[in-house]
Chains A and B, each alone.
Chain A
């Protein structure tokens, strides 16, 4: 069965700084990969997805993620964080109709 790990429970960055959120998965082949964001009291919103092809994926709100097969990783990046990016971010792995979510990384943005 597939699994997904987000090693950072909480990250704090300054507004304007770059951001990288880590995601590692465990699966024998290339799975479907997703990043979602959840603002307080809200549902999850899809930021981007990777199914195949170009390993650098562009998403909404200026986010991008890179799939690295050799490292079984799908890290989320943003070059310059805005205060409105403060939220919780979830990585998810999809295999044969089943999607497994990571435990989430809470992002705090300081002025």
Chain B
């Protein structure tokens, strides 16, 4: 595997379900990101991890819970979601945030549908 991978690619879940999205990067990066992409809305940054510590949480509802067990893996745990949470969830990685801004490399995304 190369680059950034995400599983599953598609997910349909009911509002009472619990599921997790997985992201893995094979680039040796130290920063990882979760974004939400909804139709007709700008890309929304949800969470940022740098060196496995959460450095940003942009007022995301608690029904989204991130986990970064090591610098290569990032999870997004989902529970009791709402229909408006249906979107494409993108994971990205970059060099660590210390010292500046680096380009981000994105995975293909998980298309989530909440019924």
A-side residues, CB < 8 A to B, are: 31-32, 34, 36, 41-46, 49, 90, 94-99, 101-104
The binding surface of chain A is classed by DSSP as: strand
* Cβ distance A39 to chain B, nearest Cβ, rounded Å: 10
Q: B90 contacts the other chain (Cβ, under 8 Å)?
A: yes
Where the two chains meet, the residues of B that have a C-beta atom closer than 8 Å to any C-beta of A are 4, 6, 41-43, 45, 90, 92, 97, 100-101, 103-109, 111
Q: Is the CB of B103 within 8 A of A97?
A: no
Beta-carbon nearest neighbor of A39 in chain B = B108
Q: Output the nearest chain B residue to A31 by Cβ-Cβ distance.
A: B101
Chain B residues in 8 Å Cβ range of A43: 4, 6, 90, 92, 106-109
Tell me the bound Cα distance from A87 to B111 in angstroms: 18
Given contacts A43-B107, A95-B101, is CB(A103)–CB(B4) below 8 Å?
A: no
Residues of A within 8 A of B4 (CB): 43
Q: Write 14 A-B pairs (CB below 8 A) sorted by A numbering.
A: A32-B101, A34-B103, A41-B108, A42-B108, A43-B4, A43-B107, A45-B106, A46-B105, A94-B101, A95-B101, A99-B45, A99-B104, A101-B43, A104-B42
Extra 6 A-B pairs, beta carbons < 8 Å, given A36-B106, A99-B45, A101-B42: A32-B101, A43-B90, A43-B106, A44-B90, A97-B97, A104-B42
Closest Cβ of chain B to A103, distance in Å, is 5
CA gap between A44 and B6 in the complex, in Å: 13
Cβ-closest chain B residue relative to A9: B40
Docked-complex contact B109 and A32, CB < 8 angstroms:
no
* Cβ-closest 4 pairs across A and B: A94-B101, A43-B106, A101-B43, A32-B101
